[in-house]
Chain A
Amino acid sequence: MDPECARLLPALCAVLADPRQPVADDTCLEKLLDWFKAVTEAGSSLLLLQENPCLVELLFHVLKPQDLSSRILSFALRLAGTFAAQENCFQYLQGDPSLFVASAAGQLLVHVLDLAMRGPAKGHGRLQAQDWPACAQRIVCHLEDCLCSEAAPRVTQALHVLTTAFGHCHGLWTQGLWVQLSPLVARLLEKDPMPAPHALVELLLSVARSSVPSSNPGLWETAAQTLSRLSPMQAGPLAAGILKLQDCPQALRTQAFGVLLRPLACVLEATAQAPGTPGLLEGAAGDPMAVDMLPPSKSACVGLLCSTLAHLELLQPLPQRPSPWPQAPLLAAAVTILRFCNGSAAPSSEVGGRLCAMLVGCVRVQRAALDFLGVLSQGLGPRELVTQVFAVLLEYLMSPDSSPTVLKKAFQATLRWLLSSAVPPGCCDLEPRAQLVLRELLAVLQKRLCSPCWEVRDSGLEFLTQMTRRWGGQAGFRQTLLASEVPKLASQLLQDPESYVRASAVAAAGQLSSQGLLAAPSSPEHPAGPQKTPLEELLLVLTTDSEGFPRRAAMRVFTEWLRDGHMAVAEDRERFMARVLQAASGDLDWEVRVQGLELALIFLQQLLGARSPGAAPPGALAQALRALCRVQLFEFAFRSLFDCDRPVAQKSCDLLLFLRAKAAPSSSPQEAGDSPDVAPVEAALQRWRAGEQGQPLGELAPEAVLAVLRSMDLEALRDTLAESSDHVERSPQSLLQDVLAAVGVLGDNEADCY
């Protein structure tokens, strides 16, 4: 602990111990705890307590019965726990109404238990319960009492403590603990209603992930029982958790997968035209009679379907996902759910009719099903099902009733399915079916780009950009796109009143232009106006748009163009650089300035060779330096070194360091003795450093630039910048001062009242 903090500590302890001086903000207590933790980790706790007796005094003081706030009590106990376990105060604490305190107490219990068990367990392997230390026995006894209690909150507390214990403690003793307590846990399953089902699921998963199962296979039995006892909604997280385990009995996995699949099996069953249609649950240990298990209320049914879809979505990409993965029935289920939601499904049973009424127009389920459908694009599907997938996606994209968020998901899912339907894999051409879809897709996109809802225009443009990036070079795509109004509409949206849309339009226009797909924009407003090139259009955005997003987007497009050698850039690269840098350097948005420096760095790399390590050949360097001076890169870079926004200064530092590395001392074009006049540059830098940004740099000679670069301590500057900008405010000293100052203010108020 630094001396300044040690000096402040007694005052702080006094404040904390004084019930008349409430600490207004308990986040500062959390910060204090973090700090103490860091301090104890760095050195000896004992020493710390010896050097700062005020801490011991505080702890003793807090233990006296008095009118202290529970947050201070909790703080002191956690502090005590950090220094050494204080065993005598956990029990009355655990029932505290504050969740914060209760959870801290629970953690403390686990901590104490772990400490108590660690010592004896080390030598003897697994101990019998009666051989446990008295302290541990008391804790376990307490937990047993709680588990047997009729009061649900007590059961929940015990389950939470156990969950933490199995999650954080890895000693062999945890196996003994499970042997001791599992009968009580199993007894909870028999109660009706089952108390604290969520906490129970958490505990079982925590135990399953620990070392317990290796020695105690009975756990799997308990898990299987729990799966069958819980309601579908409660069982979902347990089933998903089990399926994510690396190692667990196949029968349990099958049962768990059955739990997750059952709601979807119901959905499929509800539209099955003939009984015996291949369903989802064949092969899975599902009960075919349980298909009418969907909850009767709309909100419960929607919740169940959404969580089921979300679990399956997370499971799909995992290597340990169930195998065989029922791709085709899952696809069919996702499509059916989407059809229920838009009212086009034809239910074949009473359950189906109910589902239809509950799901029609339900945005939550639509979003979940579209996400899931998108993930399913990673696998193959029968041809006619894939056709159905595209059909339902098109229905959603076309429907006037699709909400903007649903539409966005529909666009994303469509893109994923288009990407996956390129045949053979890896081929960049769209297959004929996708080509057909594309035509309809562009007709929809055309309309969506004219939507009065800006979110819709925005997601339409994003979709267009992504499609163009992927297939812009493909003849079929180009032909279909150019035959539509889409490119024209996209460039018209550069004038959209909504800045997000303008930003997306900039990205789309940039991508279309890169692929040579951008028609010259014209609107009914200015049918005969002079037509601007895409470069001019985007420069106009960069120089005139009042919002940051479109300008940032324009900079990203320019960076991409420069990197990819876009024709409009390649024609006259220096002129392009000069214009863009001039605009970017004066921009008020720091992200635009950073992007400007990124652009400059790429330019530099293109001139000097990014890949080749070491210095550039002298001739190339001289040429490059002259070009850099012509586009006024140095003025921008030097000025940015003192930018009030740290990322800009950092970027500029990196840029100049790169340049200096390329210009090795030997490669100086300057003869010895003929040193350039760097005084004006240094004077300007001085003034910029002092905040006088108005000062121009004037003409620069490449030699002077090099000399200045070499004279600057860029490394030191980089290190300073690497410190976070609030490193002063986040110091412990500042925290202590803040706490005291806050209390001081309270004191002043008190005086005023008198």
Chain B
Amino acid sequence: MLDCGLDMTSTLNFLPLPLVQSPRLSNLPGWSLKDGNVFLDKELKECSGHVFVDSVPEFCLPETELIDLSTVDVILISNYHCMMALPYITEHTGFTGTVYATEPTVQIGRLLMEELVNFIERVPKAQSASLWKNKDIQRLLPSPLKDAVEVSTWRRCYTMQEVNSALSKIQLVGYSQKIELFGAVQVTPLSSGYALGSSNWIIQSHYEKVSYVSGSSLLTTHPQPMDQASLKNSDVLILTGLTQIPTANPDGMVGEFCSNLALTVRNGGNVLVPCYPSGVIYDLLECLYQYIDSAGLSSIPFYFISPVANSSLEFSQIFAEWLCHNKQTKVYLPEPPFPHAELIQTNKLKHYPSIHGDFSNDFRQPCVVFTGHPSLRFGDVVHFMELWGKSSLNTVIFTEPDFSYLEALAPYQPLAMKCIYCPIDTRLNFIQVSKLLKEVQPLHVVCPEQYTQPPPAQSHRVDLMVDCQPPAMSYRRAEVLALPFKRRYEKIEIMPELADSLVPMEIKPGISLATVSAVLHTKDNKHVLQPPPRPAQPTGGKKRKRASDDIPDCKVLKPLLSGSIPVDQFVQTLEKHGFSDIKVEDTAKGHIVLLQEAETLIQIEEDSTHIICDDDEVLRVRLRDLVLKFLQKF
């Protein structure tokens, strides 16, 4: 199984979970059907024309119906965003296999899960809505609830216990490490340049190679650069995790982010940045580190609020070997690789586990707050949206590309605060993909259907699709795809003593052949040729050993023939041996030599020779021997 991501956009259908009692949210009117029926008004609330489920938010799980997940042997994880559904799979499907991931992926993935669990568990919700999921009722609901897919499979968030159990099933791996899977294939993680510890995977046998490219970046940000060279010579390259906003250039967006931030703060407003506790935030803090002095913002406090803020900031500094070269060299100076250490030291950046406690004492405005969750449905961000939403001086800047910002804002409408959308997605765009594919040259590319056509809203942008030769094979949800290669060869090992006994014969310059008689021993998908057992010596009267019963019969081998028959010379030879009235016909595959008198036909082709004569065995053997004269035997 490649990756194990969680679709969190389902939470956008739910009301936010406020940290502090919100009169606005609790007084929202219940929703009633057109005919005035109010039986759903406890479950569904209406806010500025949108309807939301008033319940604990639920998540959309990976497809579990298509295959029996208990039969999955291995899950390969590419980055910490792609493992958020792991507890659902490892704890509830009978999964008994192994999960492979790099250390930063596991550590930061744990932080993300911990934050998620914390955000949801610290605001217990008495009510759990399920009536609306009834198919007959769902049909009556307004969009987007009406169109939500597979709502019956949506699940509440997992617990910390499940997280710990899931993570315990992960085997840590390092970049370029080769891991044998049952002797059948070897898997190797490669740096993908997108996030700390993020990987692409190579799955290869001796003669076939499949690359799985997911969430990769060619930009110079904090992680180790992408390893492109190792992806070369792939039979199939599975391409996923491209940028979600192909038209937004990350550099431009960072500039936009800084400008809007400065503009707001200079006017005395506050800036709210809904974000994940790891990833782009490191780069944003680094940009701000360089920018705040130039923009005259050195006295503005920056707050980072997350239950895992401290761990995230500290973890980032210790994964030196997973960082880009510049940051690695800093470690040897020794300096902290990320400048946020200095921001913390100089008190410009302060971090808190939540808005409760120390934060409320230190809180100063105007300020900039980084906090989760980017869906605006849970986490401390809900509080700041309620607090700052009423003033047009304040600004919320969306940098995470995972959620539609308009949908995220829907339950906060009407909103006076300014909203800026600067999605920063450093993953590959289509230009980079096309360069990558030219460089790597896989025989076939396999990718989601969406990548093979321009975005629906910009159908003229043919530059916004994967362009490669041969055209990429695309797949859609729940589609079963046969990868375009066959396993034709297996590698077989020859035991040294057997190899010693071989006598190769050169049949063409540079090509030697030898006949081998051996026992093929196959175990764990490994094949070994072992010397055949010696024929048992007849030991007068004694019973044969039992073990030799298993030995296959070694028939007397006929010699192998090689070479080609020069027709002219062959005809001359025939004439020399008394055959006359010989006629030669050329065919598509070779020649036919007709011995008209003898009513015999010799059919010579590249890989076969047939002597067709009418029941005259003596003649056939004679002719055969003449043919054999032209061939080598060994």
Contact = CB atoms under 8 A, between A and B. Distances in A.
B274 interface: no
Nearest first, the 3 A-B pairs at minimum CB distance are A400-B252, A357-B463, A450-B262
A447 B256 CA distance: 8
B258 A451 contact: yes
B253 interface: yes
Contacts of A400: 248-249, 252-253, 255-256, 422
A454 B258 CA distance: 13
B458 interface: yes
A450 B295 CA distance: 7
A352 B248 CA distance: 22
Given A400-B422, A448-B259, A451-B258, 11 more contacts: A343-B461, A347-B460, A356-B462, A400-B253, A447-B259, A450-B266, A488-B266, A496-B294, A524-B297, A524-B299, A524-B366
Nearest to A448: B259
Contacts of A401: 248-249, 252
Contact of A524 (B256, B300, B422): B300
Contacts of A361: 249, 431
A264 to B, nearest CB: 20
Interface in B220-259: 247-249, 252-256, 258-259
A360 interface: yes
Given A401-B249, A447-B259, A498 B298 contact: no
Contact of B255 (A453, A498, A523): A453
B365 to A, nearest CB: 11
Contact of A450 (B249, B263, B298): B263
A450 B268 CA distance: 15
Interface string A577-616: 0000000000000000000000000000000000000000
A495 interface: yes
Contacts of A523: 266, 296
A446 B268 CA distance: 15
Interface in B445-488: 458, 460-463
Interface of A: 343, 345-347, 352-354, 356-357, 360-361, 399-402, 446-448, 450-454, 456, 485, 488-489, 492, 495-498, 523-525
B287 A353 contact: no
B462 A497 contact: no
Nearest to A404: B255
Given A485-B267, A525-B298, A447 B260 contact: yes
Contacts of A452: 254-255, 258-259, 287, 290-291, 294-295
Nearest to B261: A450
A343 B247 contact: yes
For A354, A400, A447, A496, the residue with the greatest tally of chain B CB atoms inside 10 Å of its CB is: A400
A748 B206 CA distance: 68
Nearest to B297: A524
A446 B461 contact: no
B296 A524 contact: yes
Interface in B282-302: 287, 290-291, 293-300
B296 A525 contact: yes
B346 to A, nearest CB: 15
Nearest to B461: A343
A346 B460 contact: yes
A498 B268 CA distance: 24
Contacts of B145: none
17 contacts: A343-B461, A346-B460, A361-B249, A399-B252, A400-B253, A401-B248, A447-B259, A447-B263, A450-B260, A450-B262, A450-B263, A450-B266, A451-B255, A452-B287, A452-B290, A495-B296, A525-B297
A539 B484 CA distance: 75
A488 B253 CA distance: 24
B323 interface: no
A497 B294 contact: yes
B592 interface: no
A529 to B, nearest CB: 12
B259 A353 contact: no
A142 B462 CA distance: 55
For B254, B256, B293, the residue with the greatest tally of chain A CB atoms inside 10 Å of its CB is: B256
A446 B256 CA distance: 12
Contacts of B298: 525
Contacts of B259: 447-448, 450-452
A360 B422 CA distance: 20
B296 A360 contact: no
A497 B294 CA distance: 5
B305 interface: no
Interface of B: 247-249, 252-256, 258-260, 262-263, 265-268, 287, 290-291, 293-300, 366, 422, 431, 458, 460-463
A299 to B, nearest CB: 14
A340 to B, nearest CB: 10
For B265, B295, B300, the residue with the greatest tally of chain A CB atoms inside 10 Å of its CB is: B295
B8 to A, nearest CB: 26
A345 B459 CA distance: 11
Contacts of B300: 524
A438 B81 CA distance: 44
Contacts of B249: 361, 400-401
Nearest to B429: A361
A352 B460 contact: yes
Contact of B266 (A353, A456, A498, A524): A524
A354 B267 CA distance: 45
A497 B461 contact: no
A86 B16 CA distance: 95
B458 A343 contact: yes
A485 B262 CA distance: 12
A524 B290 CA distance: 18
A456 B265 CA distance: 20
A356 B255 contact: no
Contacts of A495: 296
Contacts of B253: 400
Contacts of A447: 256, 259-260, 263
A352 B462 CA distance: 10
B268 A524 contact: yes
A450 B291 CA distance: 10
A343 B266 CA distance: 33
A265 to B, nearest CB: 20
Nearest to A488: B266
Contacts of B463: 343, 356-357, 360
Given A400-B255, A448-B259, A497-B294, A524 B265 contact: yes
Contacts of B295: 450, 452
Contacts of A488: 266
Contacts of A343: 247, 458, 461, 463
A354 B462 CA distance: 8
A447 B297 CA distance: 15
Nearest to A352: B460
A357 to B, nearest CB: 4
A489 B266 contact: yes
A503 to B, nearest CB: 15
A357 B458 CA distance: 12
Nearest to B292: A452
Given A343-B461, A360-B461, A451-B255, A446 B294 contact: no
A354 to B, nearest CB: 8
A489 B266 CA distance: 9
A496 B300 CA distance: 17
Given A400-B249, A452-B290, A525 B299 contact: yes
Given A401-B249, A524-B268, A353 B258 contact: no
B463 to A, nearest CB: 4
Given A400-B249, A401-B252, A356 B461 contact: yes
A524 B266 CA distance: 6
Contacts of B290: 452
A234 B462 CA distance: 29
A345 B458 CA distance: 10
B263 A485 contact: yes
Contacts of B263: 446-447, 450, 485
A59 to B, nearest CB: 59
